Amino acid sequence: MAKIELKNLKKYFGNVKAVDDVSLNINDGEFVVFLGPSGCGKTTTLLMLAGIYKPTSGEILFDDQLVNEVPPKDREIGMVFQSYALYPHMTLYENIAFPLLAKKMPKDIIDKKIRDVTKNLDIGKLLDRKPNQISGGQQQRVAIARALVKEPKILLFDEPLSNLDAALRAYMRAEIKKLQHDLGITSVYVTHDQVEAMTMADRIAVFNKGKLMQFDTPNNIYNEPKNVFVAKFVGTPSMNILDVEIENLHNRIFIKIEKDILFEIEDENMKNKIEKINTKKVVMGIRPEDIKISFKKENNNSFRSKVYILEPLGREIIYNIKLGNNIFRIISDEKYDLKLEETVYLTFPKIGFHLFDKESGKNLLF
Ligand SMILES: Nc1ncnc2c1ncn2[C@@H]1O[C@H](COP(=O)(O)OP(=O)(O)OP(=O)(O)O)[C@@H](O)[C@H]1O
Ligand SMILES: [Mg+2]
């Protein structure tokens, strides 16, 4: 096991700031996911951890030891990529044995290690086959076995499941999580799939344009996003985001959604927080599950709306409801039998929303 520390890590390619001043600490045995859109610097950061890229500046420490100058082969790292990169002419056994043979390890020890590692991965019976005689998911497990057999201190994964179909991906997600939990090897897992990140990670590092946006538990990333980028990137359907204005009228605080649609803040604690915000124009975010649909006006914060479109997903429906000029996407535990253009009411939550700064995107309520 090993803990990892990144200090002000930067990687520039000419004037492209691929990784731009990232600092974070990963604990012994932790499973950390790097999440973010294409091009945000996930792979570049991972390759610096592996020693394949040299940082432009900043420090990488494993167990408090600076490793910036340590070559990849001496970093005790196992890597698993999107392409399994198995040798096609070798059997699975030979593929997995390869890194150990390279180290000139005795055959009987290699044999024992391979039996042990493949038992957990449920590929023990396939070892005589060649890579083209097994499925994609099995190939991915062979690639994992090959990384594990070296008994690395750190495991690095770069989108290992993106070539697999949805069912196999979901299965392998759970398998990798279980395996990592059992082995307790510190792991960094790169993906742009927020579901993968939420389901697998102890903590998620959300990246955007080379910068670290938030590093936190899945729960906090979802419920307490530090900024509008994290808020929008995590969650399906994604958070409803709209421009609003804060209105202060005779000691009452309203969020003006648009002309004549004023949502009053009644919770005292929330009122106090909003009073401290010194800009009027802000961005509001509300999760799809935090707006309530009803057929009658429930209170002063219920607004007359119209059913715009319905998106059935089997287990649930995404209700697209138009209030003024905004279309809100809503999900609910309750099933409503709604018709297009039908009138319904939307009730806003007392505290279940966020306000973000228009310029910086920063969450103003935390
Ligand atoms: N060798 C390189 N030379 C020049 N630019 C590079 C190089 N490698 C990456 N970049 C640039 O650095 C940025 C970050 O790339 P990176 O591969 O880390 O993104 P990523 O987050 O892994 O994206 P994806 O999800 O598409 O794999 C991108 O703008 C990319 O074009
Ligand atoms: Mg990448």
Say which residues have a Cβ less than 8 Å from residue 233's Cβ, sequence separation at least 6. Answer: 35, 36, 37, 194, 206, 208
Domain boundaries, the chain: 4-231, 240-357
Distances (CA, A) of 43 to 181, 236, 325: 23, 24, 40
What are 179-236's pLDDT values in tens digits? 899 989 999 999 999 999 999 999 999 999 999 999 999 999 999 999 999 999 999 9
Which residues line ion ligand 2, judged by CB < 5 Å? 43
Q: pLDDT averaged over the chain?
A: 95
Domain 4-231 and domain 240-357 have a common topology: no
The structure tokens listed for 227 are: 């900024």
Angle in degrees, 0-180, between the axes of helices 136-148 and 166-183, rounded to the nearest 10: 20
Assess whether the previous peptide bond of 237 is cis (omega < 30° from 0): yes
The Cα–Cα gap between 173 and 253 comes to: 45
Determine which of 131-140, 249-258, 271-280 has the lowest per-residue pLDDT on average.
131-140
Q: Is the CB of 251 under 6 A from ligand 1?
A: no
Name the residue among 151, 145, 172 with its Cα closest to residue 160.
Answer: 172
Is pLDDT of 83 > 80?
A: no
Instruction: Give the residue whose CA is nearest to atom 16 of ligand 1.
Output: 41
Name the CA radius of gyration of the chain, rounded: 25
Q: What is the CATH number of domain 4-231?
A: 3.40.50.300
- Is residue 265's pLDDT more than 90? yes
pLDDT digits (tens, 9 = 90+) for 113-135: 999 889 878 899 999 999 999 98
Mutate to test the pocket of ligand 1, among 44, 46, 53, 233 (most ligand atoms within 8 A of CB): 44
Q: Whose CA is nearest to atom 2 of ligand 1?
A: 13
The band of 340, judged by pLDDT with boundaries at 50, 70 and 90, is very high
pLDDT of residue 1: 67
The pLDDT tens digits of the residues spanning 134-189 come to 988 889 899 999 999 988 999 999 999 988 888 888 988 998 999 899 989 999 99
Find the largest Cα–Cα distance for the chain.
83
- Residue 206 C-alpha to ligand 2 middle, in angstroms? 14
Q: How far away, in angstroms, is 61 Cα from ligand 2 center?
A: 22
pLDDT for the residue numbered 85: 82
Amino acid letter, residue 317: I
pLDDT of residue 350 exceeding 90, the answer is: yes
Please report how many Cα atoms fall inside a 13 Å half-sphere around the Cα of residue 208, on the Cβ side: 12
- Per DSSP, 255 falls in state E
CATH number of 240-357: 2.40.50.140
pLDDT in tens, 10-55: 999 999 999 999 999 999 999 999 999 999 999 999 999 999 999 9
Residue 84 confidence (pLDDT) above 80: no
Tokens of 279: 């800009």
62-71 tens-digit pLDDT? 999 999 999 9
In this structure, the residue with its CA closest to atom 28 of ligand 1 is 39
